[in-house]
């Protein structure tokens, strides 16, 4: 099966490399040339437009920042839709608005092309290891055809429902992660200002009910004051905006998501939007005038 890949950023580049290592015939494209050349070195061929990628793909994967980029790359001028062959499958692994997944899939269907939305969780380390958690929306038939490909880059690929369900699942994931980081931040700022070593607090509670994958991933970074991304605050703002828009569109108030969105907006005003989302703690640290760091 020939695979096309568009969007070779923090996530897309290692995913594409893993597909190449698994032996797939790969054609790649990005508006930035450096990662394209890296993939060419690894044995992929390059194409000058999404349309050209589509002409050479049985399965075409996109890993782009957000809904507007996905719409442009797939439906825009020189886009995937102009070159794709009937019977091919498009797999969008970007985290975007579910309603946009449904719109793009509808247009592709007119060309007899099926689309799956298949956003991921796990960040760059799991993209590199090929152990991402992949949440998929779309038909069972299309899913079964591409499942072996997804399992080359993910530890799990779960079909959650029809098109858009993958991104609904991802929005749920992003709400839980953002709220969890906020809870850890508020609690650790309290402990630190109360005079208790936050590393001891972490070690004491991580095996109990308050423990979480989020706390295990973010506390070591917070204690070092290391907010190098990882997953940037500006991307998480994008996800929460998609969550708010989707929720309001279907009549679901999401008060906690709205509140965390404002913490992130405050950090953006402070010039910290390129920090890792673990840097959310800086909002709480500023309120209390204390820093949660490793103690000598
Ligand atoms: P990124 O900004 O590093 O990569 C996006 C890539 O898309 C870039 O290489 C960019 O040049 C390319 N691109 C943008 N517009 C394009 C166009 N018109 N044509 C061709 N290429 C184009 O972002 P990322 O961190 O790799 O994230 C990609 C998606 O995965 C996002 O939706 C993000 O929310 C999601 N995600 C990211 C992480 C993470 O930890 N970084 C984790 C899970 C999910």
- Does 296 map to a domain? no
Mean pLDDT for 133-147 is 98
Range scoring the smallest mean pLDDT among 18-22, 96-100, 228-232, 255-259? 228-232
Probe residue for ligand 1, chosen from 49, 63, 66 as the CB with the greatest number of ligand atoms within 8 Å: 63
Q: How far is the CA of 27 from the centre of ligand 1 (A)?
A: 17
Return the pLDDT at 83: 98
- Among 162, 185, 216, identify where a domain stops: 162
Residues 173 and 156 placed together within one structural domain of the fold? no
Residue 185's contacts (CB-CB under 8 Å, 6 or more residues apart) are: 222, 280, 281, 283, 284, 285, 292
Residue 146's contacts (CB-CB under 8 Å, 6 or more residues apart) are: 59, 89, 91, 116
Q: How confident is the model at residue 252 (pLDDT cuts 50, 70, 90)?
A: very high
- Does 239 map to a domain? yes
CB 5 within 8 A of CB 63: yes
- Does 295 map to a domain? no
* CATH code of the domain covering residue 280: 1.10.1040.10
Residue with tokens 């569109």: 249
Atom of ligand 1 nearest to the CA of 119: 44
- Among 162, 190, 207, identify where a domain stops: 162
* CATH code of the domain covering residue 85: 3.40.50.720
Residues 57 and 38 placed together within one structural domain of the fold? yes
Probe residue for ligand 1, chosen from 33, 65, 100 as the CB with the greatest number of ligand atoms within 8 Å: 65
Residues 106 and 226 placed together within one structural domain of the fold? no
Residues 87 and 193 placed together within one structural domain of the fold? no
Pocket (CB within 6 angstroms of ligand 1): 6-12, 29-32, 63-66, 69, 72-73, 94-95, 120-121, 123-124, 230-231, 235
Probe residue for ligand 1, chosen from 4, 8, 9, 277 as the CB with the greatest number of ligand atoms within 8 Å: 9
CB 6 within 8 A of CB 62: yes
Indicate which residue of 170, 218, 238, 272 is catalytic. Answer: 170
Residues 218 and 280 placed together within one structural domain of the fold? yes
The secondary structure of 230-263, three-state, reads CCEHHHHHHHHHHHHHHHHHCCCCCHHHHHHHHH
- Among 162, 191, 206, identify where a domain stops: 162
Quote the mean pLDDT of the chain.
97
Residues 97 and 181 placed together within one structural domain of the fold? no
Residues 42 and 67 placed together within one structural domain of the fold? yes
Residues 14 and 109 placed together within one structural domain of the fold? yes
- Does 63 map to a domain? yes
Q: If DSSP codes are grouped into helix, strand and coil, which group holds residue 114?
A: strand
Residues 149 and 261 placed together within one structural domain of the fold? no
Residues 249 and 155 placed together within one structural domain of the fold? no
Asked if the model's pLDDT at residue 212 lies above 90, the reply is: yes
Encoded tokens for 226: 């290391």
- Does 195 map to a domain? yes
- Does 282 map to a domain? yes
Atom of ligand 1 nearest to the CA of 232: 41
- Whether pTM > 0.75 for this model: the answer is yes
Range of the domain at 19: 2-162
Encoded tokens for 61: 């994967």
Q: How far is the CA of 93 from the centre of ligand 1 (A)?
A: 10
Q: How far is the CA of 62 from the centre of ligand 1 (A)?
A: 9
Q: Over the stretch 51-84, which tens digit does the pLDDT of each residue have?
A: 999 999 999 999 999 999 999 999 999 999 999 9
Residues 30 and 110 placed together within one structural domain of the fold? yes
Q: What percent of the chain has pLDDT over 70?
A: 100
Residues 117 and 249 placed together within one structural domain of the fold? no
- Does 284 map to a domain? yes
Q: Over the stretch 144-178, which tens digit does the pLDDT of each residue have?
A: 999 999 999 999 999 999 999 999 999 999 999 99
Atom of ligand 1 nearest to the CA of 96: 32
- Does 14 map to a domain? yes
Nearest residue (by CA) to ligand 1, atom 25, is 10
CB 63 within 8 A of CB 88: no
How many domains are there within the chain?
2
Please confirm, yes or no, whether 193 is among the known catalytic residues: no
């Amino acid at each position: 099966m020939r695979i096309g890949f568009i969007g070779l950023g923090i996530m897309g580049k290692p995913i594409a490399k893993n597909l190449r290592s698994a032996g797939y015939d790969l054609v790649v494209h990005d508006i930035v040339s450096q990662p394209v050349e890296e993939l060419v070195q690894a044995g992929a061929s390059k194409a000058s437009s999404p349309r050209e990628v589509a002409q050479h793909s049985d399965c075409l994967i996109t890993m782009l920042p957000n809904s507007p980029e996905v719409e442009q790359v797939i439906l825009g001028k020189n886009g995937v839709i102009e070159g794709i062959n009937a019977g091919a499958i498009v797999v969008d692994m970007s985290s975007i608005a579910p309603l946009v997944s449904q719109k793009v899939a509808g247009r592709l269907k007119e060309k007899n092309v099926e689309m799956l939305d298949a956003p991921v969780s796990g960040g760059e380390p799991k993209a590199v290891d090929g152990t991402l958690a992949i949440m998929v929306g779309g038909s069972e038939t299309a899913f079964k055809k591409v499942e072996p490909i997804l399992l080359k880059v993910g530890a799990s690929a779960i079909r959650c429902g029809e098109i858009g369900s993958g991104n609904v699942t991802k929005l749920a994931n992003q709400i839980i992660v953002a709220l969890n980081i906020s809870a850890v931040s508020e609690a650790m700022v309290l402990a630190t200002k109360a005079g208790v070593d936050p590393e001891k607090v972490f070690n004491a509670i991580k095996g109990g009910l308050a423990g979480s994958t989020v706390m295990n991933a973010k506390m070591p970074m917070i204690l070092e004051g290391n907010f190098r991304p990882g997953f940037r605050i500006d991307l998480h703002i994008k996800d929460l905006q998609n969550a708010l828009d989707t929720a309001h569109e279907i009549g679901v108030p999401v008060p906690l998501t709205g509140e965390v969105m404002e913490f992130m907006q405050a950090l953006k005003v402070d010039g910290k939007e390129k920090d890792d989302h673990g840097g959310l703690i800086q909002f709480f640290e500023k309120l209390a005038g204390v820093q949660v760091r490793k103690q000598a």
